[in-house]
Structure formats: structure tokens, C-alpha cells
């Protein structure tokens, strides 16, 4: 199938993106690495010895950043339904984290330790139809929040990507009920025209 003008235009923009070029030069798998770096430099989420879970981790750029910042003594567990090339120091589980067999393996890898931080940079394949995209994005976000409700320790934190569209304010209210405070972050590496924003939930309630 011949590529559309839209897809060719996106590819040209992507290849010329300075963050994409920087990621390639510095060995990161995606420009998203710089989003996590900027947020962490500001909010100091990642600390040595922490247990961190990265939901929807593929291709692994957030893992590349996080695993370095939680050493020595840290544990990073990454989950995704898609395959991901290994990242040194990261334990990766391929599968749906809603499934009992995947959760059982996840709990085995935790080995009794509690989760300090949940990261989620998940997003659906974008169709360009905002109503559909917003709905699918919100579904993923709700799954991540439910995961945090069940596995994140009291006092722990969560960082998640959302689209500013239908359901956004209701989701933020749900986070505010779970966390002591909820902050918005829009890192420089996020494209200006993108509707994405990151919500940071601090100090999960007991």
C-alpha cells in the first residue's frame, strides 16, 4: 500500500525532530526518554533502592533512564503486551497485566518487596479520530490506575501519560482521591501540538 501524504509528512517530521536525533546519538530507543529525565530532574521520583514498575514499557526508553537512577539496590519490572529487546538490569514480562498468570509472575519477581513508583507512558495506536483516541487512551489509563491501587504501596507515587480530552478531568479527580496531591507536567520533549500531558500522583493514601 502506498504511504499517504499524511504518513510521509509525519515520518519526515519525526526524522528531523531534534529529540529523535538526540536519542539516536545518545543510545536511547525513543525521544520519550527525555520526557522522563526532565520530569525526574524536577520532581526527584527515581531514587536508589526503589522498586519501580513500568507499564507499557516497549520499546524501553523509560527503562533505560529509570534503571540507572534507581541503582544501587533498585528493582525495575517492565510489562507490555508487545515484545521488548532486553535492557540490562530490567526484568521484563511480556503479557497482559490483567491476566492472573502474568500477575503471578510479577508477584514472584517482586519477591515480597513493595512497589514505590508506577510509571505509565502507554498510548493506543492513534487513529486521528479524537473521540476514539481519547476513549482508548482513557481505557489504558484506567487500567494503570487500577494496577496502582492494587500494587503501589501507601506513600508511593505514580506518573502517567494522558490526552487532554474527554474524561481527563474525571480521571484527574480519581487520582486526587487516591493520592495526596496530583500535579501536571508537560516536558519540553513533548511536541507542542500534542494533546499529551503527564499527571503525577504523589503519596498514595493508605
Does 62 count as an annotated binding residue? yes
Catalytic residues: 161
Does 165 count as an annotated binding residue? no
- Output the CA torsion sign for 94, 98, 99, 101: positive
Does 19 count as an annotated binding residue? no
Number of neighbouring beta carbons within 10 Å of residue 169: 9
Does 80 count as an annotated binding residue? yes
Give me the residues paired with residue 90 across strands.
76
Among candidate residues 97, 6, 114, the one with its CA nearest the CA of residue 56: 97
Among candidate residues 180, 179, 145, 176, the one with its CA nearest the CA of residue 161: 145
User: CA-to-CA distance for 160 and 84, rounded, in angstroms?
Assistant: 20
User: CA-to-CA distance for 134 and 130, rounded, in angstroms?
Assistant: 6
Residues annotated within a binding site? 60, 62, 80, 96, 121
Residues annotated within a binding site for S-adenosyl-L-methionine? 60, 62, 80, 96, 121
Amino acid at each position: 500500500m502506498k504511504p499517504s501524504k499524511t504518513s510521509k509528512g509525519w515520518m519526515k517530521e519525526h526524522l528531523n525532530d531534534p529529540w529523535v536525533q538526540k536519542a539516536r546519538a545518545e543510545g536511547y530507543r525513543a525521544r520519550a526518554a527525555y520526557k522522563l529525565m526532565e520530569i525526574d530532574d524536577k520532581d526527584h521520583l527515581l531514587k536508589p533502592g526503589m522498586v519501580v514498575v513500568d507499564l507499557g514499557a516497549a520499546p524501553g526508553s523509560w527503562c533505560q533512564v529509570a534503571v540507572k537512577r534507581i541503582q544501587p539496590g533498585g528493582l525495575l519490572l517492565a510489562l507490555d503486551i508487545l515484545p521488548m529487546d532486553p535492557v540490562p538490569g530490567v526484568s521484563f514480562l511480556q503479557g497482559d497485566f490483567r491476566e492472573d498468570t502474568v500477575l503471578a509472575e510479577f508477584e514472584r519477581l517482586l519477591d515480597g518487596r513493595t512497589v514505590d513508583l508506577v510509571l505509565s507512558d502507554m498510548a493506543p495506536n492513534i487513529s486521528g479520530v479524537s473521540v476514539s483516541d481519547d476513549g482508548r487512551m482513557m481505557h489504558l489509563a484506567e487500567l494503570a490506575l487500577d494496577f496502582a491501587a492494587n500494587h503501589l504501596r501507601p506513600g508511593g507515587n505514580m506518573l502517567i501519560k494522558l490526552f487532554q480530552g474527554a474524561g481527563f478531568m474525571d480521571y484527574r479527580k480519581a487520582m486526587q482521591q487516591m493520592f495526596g496531591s496530583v500535579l501536571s507536567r508537560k516536558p519540553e520533549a513533548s511536541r507542542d501540538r500534542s494533546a499529551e500531558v503527564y499527571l503525577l500522583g504523589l503519596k498514595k493514601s493508605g
